[in-house]
Amino acid sequence: MPVASLKERIAKKGYVLNGYCQMPGAFSAEFYSRCGWDCVTLDLQHGLIGEDMAIQMLQALTASGVMPLCRVGWLDAAIIMKVLDSGSLGVTCPMINTGAQAEQLVRYAKYPPRGERSMGPLRPSMIYGQDYLKTANDFINVFPMVETAEAVKNIEDIVAVDGINGIYIGSGDLAQSMGRPIGREAIDPEVDMAIEHVLQVCLKRDIIVGMMARNAEQAQQFIKRGFKFVGISSDYVAMTTQAKNWVGAVNKAMGHE
Amino acid sequence: MPVASLKERIAKKGYVLNGYCQMPGAFSAEFYSRCGWDCVTLDLQHGLIGEDMAIQMLQALTASGVMPLCRVGWLDAAIIMKVLDSGSLGVTCPMINTGAQAEQLVRYAKYPPRGERSMGPLRPSMIYGQDYLKTANDFINVFPMVETAEAVKNIEDIVAVDGINGIYIGSGDLAQSMGRPIGREAIDPEVDMAIEHVLQVCLKRDIIVGMMARNAEQAQQFIKRGFKFVGISSDYVAMTTQAKNWVGAVNKAMGHE
Amino acid sequence: MPVASLKERIAKKGYVLNGYCQMPGAFSAEFYSRCGWDCVTLDLQHGLIGEDMAIQMLQALTASGVMPLCRVGWLDAAIIMKVLDSGSLGVTCPMINTGAQAEQLVRYAKYPPRGERSMGPLRPSMIYGQDYLKTANDFINVFPMVETAEAVKNIEDIVAVDGINGIYIGSGDLAQSMGRPIGREAIDPEVDMAIEHVLQVCLKRDIIVGMMARNAEQAQQFIKRGFKFVGISSDYVAMTTQAKNWVGAVNKAMGHE
Amino acid sequence: MPVASLKERIAKKGYVLNGYCQMPGAFSAEFYSRCGWDCVTLDLQHGLIGEDMAIQMLQALTASGVMPLCRVGWLDAAIIMKVLDSGSLGVTCPMINTGAQAEQLVRYAKYPPRGERSMGPLRPSMIYGQDYLKTANDFINVFPMVETAEAVKNIEDIVAVDGINGIYIGSGDLAQSMGRPIGREAIDPEVDMAIEHVLQVCLKRDIIVGMMARNAEQAQQFIKRGFKFVGISSDYVAMTTQAKNWVGAVNKAMGHE
Amino acid sequence: MPVASLKERIAKKGYVLNGYCQMPGAFSAEFYSRCGWDCVTLDLQHGLIGEDMAIQMLQALTASGVMPLCRVGWLDAAIIMKVLDSGSLGVTCPMINTGAQAEQLVRYAKYPPRGERSMGPLRPSMIYGQDYLKTANDFINVFPMVETAEAVKNIEDIVAVDGINGIYIGSGDLAQSMGRPIGREAIDPEVDMAIEHVLQVCLKRDIIVGMMARNAEQAQQFIKRGFKFVGISSDYVAMTTQAKNWVGAVNKAMGHE
Amino acid sequence: MPVASLKERIAKKGYVLNGYCQMPGAFSAEFYSRCGWDCVTLDLQHGLIGEDMAIQMLQALTASGVMPLCRVGWLDAAIIMKVLDSGSLGVTCPMINTGAQAEQLVRYAKYPPRGERSMGPLRPSMIYGQDYLKTANDFINVFPMVETAEAVKNIEDIVAVDGINGIYIGSGDLAQSMGRPIGREAIDPEVDMAIEHVLQVCLKRDIIVGMMARNAEQAQQFIKRGFKFVGISSDYVAMTTQAKNWVGAVNKAMGHE
């Protein structure tokens, strides 16, 4: 399995589409990750996925050949190092509000001398090659989540941290933090201004910006606007959306709404 | 959880829509079974679901409140009794080609004096009530699969077996058995004639006939034609269809097909 | 599944009986939670239950229809948010010794503006309804454990924190913290005085107080004394107590003690 | 772990008490098997225990040091050999109605020249010693279940099969098979006569007879009557009986029945 | 993942080395399958591997890119079809003693018109391509085990069955069946003559013959003798051999034997 | 299971050999722990082992009778208390760089009055005896890892903490922290000087010092040098080393390198 950085992939295509796995299970992960996504993120934060399940699911992503990433639940050394040691090629971390937190995140995810990640990549060395230890710092993706007003305020400090190669915006949490409506249909204008600010700061520094779209139309808008890492909803939404469409269409046609 | 027989459900609505779970996992099962299905079948035959996983998934179906059914892999006493003892309210069994096989199937699924199911319904007694032992024979569904030319020939014998309350047609296997094309878009005319024959024999005896539709349109056709138990594809197809649509739409719009 | 707050349940009955699950396993949880408990707490602290197992067991509690709660192992954002996102309707947190810790606990468990819980309740929205996001802050139970001398000293600060609706007293740890005997048969008088102090402070503020009883007799005493949330030992103790009684009675009767 | 045959254990004590595990889970099995049982049987027939779970639970029984046995779901070579290869020291098999079936059961459970068990006891060789292959035929217990009128009729043939060292009577299934009431409180007299017949035939041949008692009193009666292998209900009954007693006693005392 | 038949692999190299997985676990399987084996067989017969575990482990073999095979526990339709539907590219089946049994084995493993394998290869279609249904009969490997005197006698009938492309010799079981010593160090001469007979019959028909070697030396002998499919012990033996060597060497050197 | 302290074991033999489990799985753990190791450490840090898996594996170590230890991923109260409550007899904790951190580690691992470990050892009380609560502080092993330049500098402070009975040196991380090569073949001289310093400080205080050897030769050197707790690589390395040797030897002999 050749390890290409997200940056290289984006260089080729202009953006990457990221699939979110929120259901536990190595087979739903395998099936979902074979749907054309450029990378797949296991969501250990809001997904029903704990540490042991994440390990299994990372193997499934290896089986499907997709680039594996993880979102962890908190800025916690043990789980960040564990998903990397299990084969994740990056980590998205929620609630990074300051440069100091971003610095801590990088330190957990990078080997010395840049960081303090502990040595012992048994599975990565096997699947990515024996030089993993030397090269991992170059391609491990570190994405702080910007999802509070405080983080927006501190965005320059956050992106200035060496080793941060992307920012993931949590638009719902950001809206709540700003005391604005979550906006299922459209992003609240004030929230959107904050997002735009983050986006522009990042674009200047050639930092990837990611955000989750609700559907394909929104995903296109995001890409056109400059987002390079775009998720589209998640595995369980894909499954239930289609199933409800089937059931609803038949029941409606048969007069059972 | 009140136990209504499939027949009662069909009496109310004219048909039931059956969701198929083929991915292992108690949470994909829970999410899928909350999409409006009248009943959900765990597919132990072609799904990636073994005995221990099926047990877990049956609990998930209890959690979502949907009627739980199972398709087993073969006419085997141990697994038939195990899925029933784990809470399944019926069993679909592949490759029932003769009346004798149908009789054996009923005997495994029903308590004496009708059958030889062994006593010990610890979970069913808990979730369906203490009189389960006395009433189970009335509502446990027994669906032989008719999926060979031989079974079509013997359909009268099969449906004559006391305790069979439905027939599930495996149209793909039937086509192969008849040496006809599988027909992903439309059912081969010769196969369709055989199916129609089975359908008419069953309708005369008030036996439920089931078949899997590829999509909502086909499901409606089946219902109009007299099928009362209609599946629409399965969980993994739902998930991957929607995901591929998302990915495909974005990539196409952005010029990356 | 209608979501009633603990307070409403207590208003009806005067108290609630809480069952503790300490053995891992979705089926022991399902069986145990169908024994008449008003609510069931999964013990992630001293039980043999990790994060992935807790997620499975929360589904089991949905299957049995009992109110699901969790005790986590420490004041940790990731696990608190994860059990809530997996369907727990409350969180008991050990070793809350100060008002500041109680405030932190509330912030992890409540959405903005009160707290900082991150948005993404995929399973709760499914099982409790789409308005979960708006209403969760009203019914999510937050129970700090008071189990050190320091916590007793700070009890006024702790219960003054907005969002704390109950206190769970760990009488064994409290005894150890006070340098007093644990008292398997009876609570040490000094420890009991501390407990009484906490109880009275809470009763004045209409805060629920919980404690674990060793058996039914002690549970009644606790209820009469003013405890509203009373546990009685746990699943493994229930199982082994009865089994040892069976084995012991037979062996004694047969002369094999 | 020294391997003593059931016969030796019975020789010492006059009987053995057998604990039944019907809940899946390696920890409930470990806790349950430490309650004083002389042996523990994993119930793969009516328990919620499949093949993979049984393997895990057999390890748990090793951890607790109790003699491990299994009841399988049917006279099936694969599962019989698998539980033995996983460390079970015996197999109880349901629905053995003829001498020929008993012979087949022995053949699956014993190595050549007596039987046709396939060689490959990797775990037994590790935990019971390298000479397992030579000695296993001497101590592997083979217990056909006698639970139909036909089996009672054929009891002489069944016990005449070389290698059968015990008979396990399924009194409930036997009652159903004879068209008699199951008799939760007392065994139906006709069924009891059939049981007595089986017992006497076995006692003459020094064959162990086993049956499950509902409680300690019935267990004593069985032992006095000549049963040497006596089960007392099961793990989930133990757990739920005690829990319901706790809950019921408190609610009754508090006026909430 | 390109699907090459075993025959093509053997054509290139003269033989294949087969790794046996007998420990349950998707990660031991992944690590073991990356050790240079040409193919890996999951041993559902003597390994501690049930159906659900086998499914997980087949995904692990996909992750490592090795050719996945399975040995099942018995000539049973459900498990044979299940391992194939889960991605195994072949099936080894124990105790095939007659041509009729070999014919049955082929029928379970091949689609119509040759056999009666049921259609529904959801995972194989995903990982091997959409034409799997049409081409699977060409590359699915079917290896009966010859491990009794009866099978040796019937070897011509067995290999005459269309669809059998290999024979796997169980030398230990064969020895027991012939009443000869198992021969841990060297194969008993009478048993070896029987093996040679099977080998020569197969070589004439260009049928692959497989056998398990105890170590590298024996593996070379087997290859030179004409065996094309050679296993070398198994995962747990590899692990424990090395570990015992380490421990033994140190303790010996330090005077603690 | 008698609980002997590491100190007693070392007193008898001069050293202990520690096996490392890094693969998840209760059966690989059982097999590995029966290879002669004096104790076995489950590696929750770099191993593919999460909390739920560790719990299962601790049961496996009970089954094999070896002394069970755990290395956790970080100085985190919840996981340290959980592995102890699950039966681990000690905890190794990475990245302890100061006396204050060592003090915190001891406080998490010891009951009051020495520490703040919460009471509730349900499994330890069962397997180690009812007086566990009183005696655990005496035999629970607490091993900080010294693996940074800072830790070396602070070694006197670290070992002065009451309750620390051993130091585990992470030579690879230490080398990285010191900006020195990791030295797969031989330890870098500067790093070795730091190690020697730690060793001498500990030997003076009768503190056990541990380190992982690459092979048996290095293990002997370490023991002769004064290390009392010596690991030799790990389970997956044992397995893959032997397997690669087998495959390599055959392929080389047959001309396929």
- Residue C184 has a pLDDT of 73
Task: Report which of C246, B96, B59, E163 is spatially closest to residue D231, judged by C-alpha positions.
Answer: C246
Q: What is the pLDDT of residues D84-130, one digit of tens each?
A: 999 999 999 999 999 999 999 999 999 999 999 999 999 999 999 99
- Residue A4 has a pLDDT of 74
The residues, any chain, with a CB within 8 Å of residue D215's CB and separated by 6 or more, are C246, D232, D233
Quick one: pLDDT band at residue E119, thresholds 50, 70, 90?
A: very high
Kindly list the distances between the CA atom of residue A203 and the CA atoms of A159, A160, C112, F49, F147, in Å, as whole numbers in the listed order. Answer: 11, 13, 30, 39, 39
Q: What is the pLDDT of residues F181-223, one digit of tens each?
A: 987 778 999 999 999 999 999 999 999 999 999 999 999 999 9
Give residue A219's identity as a one-letter amino acid code.
Answer: A
Question: Is C23's CB within 8 Å of D27's CB?
Answer: yes
Of E26, E34, E126, the CB nearest to A59: E26
Quick one: pLDDT band at residue E4, thresholds 50, 70, 90?
A: confident
D181 pLDDT more than 70: yes
| Closest-approach residue (CA) in chain F for E217 | F250
| Closest-approach residue (CA) in chain F for D65 | F63
Percent of chain F residues topping a pLDDT of 90 = 95
Chain mean pLDDT for chain D: 96
Q: What is the pLDDT of residues A23-67, one digit of tens each?
A: 999 999 999 999 999 999 999 999 999 999 999 999 999 999 999
Query: For E241, what's the count of Cα atoms within 13 Å in the CB-facing half-sphere?
Result: 17
Enumerate the domain spans of chain D: 6-141+209-252
Domain A6-249 has CATH 3.90.79.10: no
Contact in structure between D10 and D40 (CB atoms under 8 Å): no
Average pLDDT over residues E158-172: 97
Q: What is the pLDDT of residues E86-98, one digit of tens each?
A: 999 999 999 999 9
Quick one: pLDDT band at residue A184, thresholds 50, 70, 90?
A: confident
Of E51, E116, E121, the CB nearest to B51: E51
**Lowest-confidence region among A142-146, D249-253, E123-127, F185-189:** F185-189
Contact in structure between D35 and D236 (CB atoms under 8 Å): no
Alpha-helix residue ranges (DSSP H) falling in C131-180: 132-139, 149-153, 155-159, 171-177
**Given the DSSP bridges, would you call strands A229-232 and B16-21 parallel, antiparallel or unpaired?**
unpaired
Task: Retrieve residue D93's tokens.
Answer: 């098999």
Quick one: pLDDT band at residue B252, thresholds 50, 70, 90?
A: very high
**Lowest-confidence region among A61-75, C174-188, E27-41, E98-112:** C174-188
Q: What is the pLDDT of residues B132-179, one digit of tens each?
A: 999 999 999 999 999 999 999 999 999 999 999 999 999 999 999 999
Q: What is the pLDDT of residues C183-235, one digit of tens each?
A: 777 899 999 999 999 999 999 999 999 999 999 999 999 999 999 999 999 99
Percent of chain B residues topping a pLDDT of 90 = 95
- Residue F184 has a pLDDT of 73
Percent of chain C residues topping a pLDDT of 90 = 95
Of A27, A55, A62, the CB nearest to E63: A62
| A82 interfacial to chain F (CB closer than 8 Å) | yes
User: Does the annotation mark A197 as catalytic?
Assistant: no
Integer Cα distance of D122 and E239 in angstroms:
13
Q: What is the pLDDT of residues B188-218, one digit of tens each?
A: 999 999 999 999 999 999 999 999 999 999 9
Cα distance between the two ends of chain B: 49
Contacts B48 to A, Cβ<8 Å: 27
Top-level CATH class of B6-140+212-249? Answer: alpha beta
Q: How far is B62 from chain C (nearest CA, A)?
A: 5
Question: Is C51's CB within 8 Å of F55's CB?
Answer: no
Q: What is the pLDDT of residues B167-184, one digit of tens each?
A: 999 999 999 999 999 877
Task: Using alpha carbons only, give the angle F196, F197, F203 rounded to the nearest 5 degrees.
Answer: 85
Fold of the domain spanning E6-140+210-251:
TIM Barrel (3.20.20)
| A154 interfacial to chain C (CB closer than 8 Å) | no
- Residue E141 has a pLDDT of 97
Average pLDDT over residues E217-246: 98
Integer Cα distance of D203 and D214 in angstroms:
23
F1 pLDDT more than 70: no
Region C6-140+211-250: CATH code? 3.20.20.60
| E74 interfacial to chain D (CB closer than 8 Å) | yes
A240 pLDDT more than 50: yes
D225 pLDDT more than 80: yes
Percent of chain E residues topping a pLDDT of 90 = 95
Integer Cα distance of F257 and F247 in angstroms:
10
- Residue B2 has a pLDDT of 52
| F246 interfacial to chain D (CB closer than 8 Å) | no
DSSP E164: -
- Residue E209 has a pLDDT of 98
| Closest-approach residue (CA) in chain A for B235 | A239
Chain mean pLDDT for chain A: 96
Q: What is the pLDDT of residues E20-68, one digit of tens each?
A: 999 999 999 999 999 999 999 999 999 999 999 999 999 999 999 999 9
- Residue E85 has a pLDDT of 98
Contacts D60 to E, Cβ<8 Å: none
Contact in structure between E110 and E103 (CB atoms under 8 Å): no
Asked if this assembly's ipTM is beyond 0.90, the reply is yes
Integer Cα distance of C248 and C242 in angstroms:
10
Question: Is C126's CB within 8 Å of B59's CB?
Answer: no
Quick one: pLDDT band at residue D183, thresholds 50, 70, 90?
A: confident
Contact in structure between F69 and F18 (CB atoms under 8 Å): yes
Task: Report which of F174, F179, F164 is spatially closest to residue F194, judged by C-alpha positions.
Answer: F174
- Residue D157 has a pLDDT of 98
Task: Retrieve residue A218's tokens.
Answer: 């929104």
Question: Is F59's CB within 8 Å of D30's CB?
Answer: yes
Quick one: pLDDT band at residue F120, thresholds 50, 70, 90?
A: very high
- State the DSSP string of B25-64: -HHHHHHHHTSS-SEEEEETTTSS--HHHHHHHHHHHHHH
Task: Retrieve residue C95's tokens.
Answer: 């070793």
- Residue B5 has a pLDDT of 83
Question: Is C254's CB within 8 Å of D27's CB?
Answer: no
- Residue C2 has a pLDDT of 52
- Residue B4 has a pLDDT of 74
Contacts B19 to A, Cβ<8 Å: 243, 247
Task: Using alpha carbons only, give the angle B216, B219, B222 rounded to the nearest 5 degrees.
Answer: 160
Of E14, E15, E28, the CB nearest to F25: E28
Q: What is the pLDDT of residues E218-227, one digit of tens each?
A: 999 999 999 9
Residue C101, phi then psi, degrees to nearest 5? -65, -40
- Classified as helix, coil or strand, F20 is strand
Task: Retrieve residue A249's tokens.
Answer: 């269409």
CATH architecture of D6-141+209-252: Alpha-Beta Barrel (3.20)
Contacts E182 to D, Cβ<8 Å: 119, 133
Chain mean pLDDT for chain F: 96
DSSP E23: S
Quick one: pLDDT band at residue B92, thresholds 50, 70, 90?
A: very high
- Residue F4 has a pLDDT of 74
| F151 interfacial to chain A (CB closer than 8 Å) | no
Alpha-helix residue ranges (DSSP H) falling in D14-148: 26-33, 51-64, 77-85, 99-109, 122-128, 132-139
- Residue C1 has a pLDDT of 47
pTM of the model: 0.97
**Lowest-confidence region among A110-124, C60-74, E172-186:** E172-186
A2 pLDDT more than 60: no
Q: What is the pLDDT of residues C105-150, one digit of tens each?
A: 999 999 999 999 999 999 999 999 999 999 999 999 999 999 999 9
E1 pLDDT more than 60: no
Integer Cα distance of C248 and D36 in angstroms:
8
B1 pLDDT more than 60: no
| B243 interfacial to chain E (CB closer than 8 Å) | no
Integer Cα distance of B16 and F16 in angstroms:
66
Alpha-helix residue ranges (DSSP H) falling in chain B: 6-13, 26-33, 51-64, 77-85, 99-109, 122-128, 132-139, 149-153, 155-159, 171-177, 189-204, 216-225, 235-253
Integer Cα distance of B109 and D229 in angstroms:
30
Quick one: pLDDT band at residue D2, thresholds 50, 70, 90?
A: low
Question: Is A31's CB within 8 Å of E126's CB?
Answer: yes
Q: How many CB atoms lie within 10 A of CB D200?
A: 12
| E28 interfacial to chain A (CB closer than 8 Å) | no
Quick one: pLDDT band at residue D3, thresholds 50, 70, 90?
A: low
Q: What is the pLDDT of residues E71-86, one digit of tens each?
A: 999 999 999 999 999 9
Average pLDDT over residues E197-210: 97
DSSP A92: E
| Closest-approach residue (CA) in chain E for F222 | E250
Would you put residue A206 in left (φ > 0), alpha (ψ -120 to 50) or beta? left
- Residue C186 has a pLDDT of 86
Q: F15-140+211-250 falls under which CATH superfamily?
A: Phosphoenolpyruvate-binding domains (3.20.20.60)
Of C48, C236, C250, the CB nearest to D17: C250
